Structure 1
Amino acid sequence: MYTTANEAHFDRLASETYKASQSSIELAKRAGNAILRHYDFDDESTEVMDFACGSGLLSQHIAPYAKSVVGVDISQGMVDLYNMFALNQGLLSEELRAVRFDVLASSPQDPFNGQRFDVVVCASAYHHFESIEDVTTALVSYLKPGGTLIVVDLIQPGEQVNLDELFPEHEGSIVAHRGGFKETTIVQAFEKSGLQEVEFRPAVNVKKKGQSLQLFLAKGRKPSL
């Protein structure tokens, strides 16, 4: 249900006169800075997957620090916007490109031609997925041995926060985890997928309608062979 609804929602958003909001650009920049602080990128060797990449705001921020970035999204409309930006910047597909791909498809094909990644990042999107355990396990399968998964999303605020007032845009059909996550939920999903050295920390402070909120950064390493 959520996959189909999100695909339709973001395709529709991309088909309109799309322009990323200043707040979205700033949030992607701050999430990107947090990721850069907690992973040692090498612009000559680090191969990155940006999962649920949208139009590529996060990818654009981290691409200068990586050898290559492949964006992955369920929305073809967003993938097209992502690739249009890369083309307009004169970037080669080997450096920055996006593909439409559902990692939870029952018989998924491999659009990466066997490529596996040093790091998989996902920012401000985990709350859209019904089963974060299934998504985490799928993403780990695309990591190289010793590779790292990094997720940035909202720490669930206290019960005193009215989620209906704070997140009216979080429609029930597209957001499975309204208001974000508790630490235990994320850590358990990471550990169940086989990740080691799992870390969870507050990483980005944000304000929404006068309410102070925090985004977390969670990181785990796939065992080496």
Structure 2
Amino acid sequence: MLRVRPIVFTSRPEAWEPLLAALGMIKTVDDGGRREFDAGSGRLALQQVSPGAVEDGSTVFGVEIGDPAEFARRTVADGTRAEVIDTAHGTAVRVTAEDGFSFLADKAAHGAVCADADPALAVVGIWLTPAVERATQELRHIGARPRRDTPDGPDLSTKNGGILTVRAGDQPAGGPLEFEYDGGLDGLRARLASAGVAVREDGGTLLVGAPDGGELAVRRA
């Protein structure tokens, strides 16, 4: 299995909840400092940190998988470095790409709980890299499948929810939090505004005010 699941590190998780609810996400985990939300496709985790922490407000690229040992074996067999490791949240696989970018594939704690989520909303995981073609191939090595080419870069689909995309960047890194919406943006914009969320539209993309500052994007499918 493969599911997109970025992590937002934030000192303001309570402020995120009405925003994610207005987007159409459903809270599926509330365990101390960690909360998880399912979209119609894909998942997002909030990890609470102290105000002023270095990582406060940052987004980390990540995915969820089934069997870590089997996932690592298949990834290595296809040509990308992967090793099974122990983390504070359990067993995971660290994937290290040729460009030096590294991310975790965590063992999923539960299946998708998205029956009440907005089916039009998908979570997008973004990989920035100067080696777009190679990074795209390495996402195929972890089980993603080509979906479409966009003006910003190639998109890939995942079996268990969410979209992975590769975009050109000077240095390899995870990109900002983003969503895709397969429906009319006017209705979503009104829903966000009714929840008191600052939102504006730019060229068919909704730019939504984030609790930690800045904006997150909801692009049209």
Task: Work out which structure has the larger RCO, using CA pairs closer than 8 Å and 6 or more positions apart in sequence.
Answer: 2
TM-score in terms of structure 1 length: 0.30
Structure with the largest fraction of strand: 2
Structure with the largest fraction of helix: 1
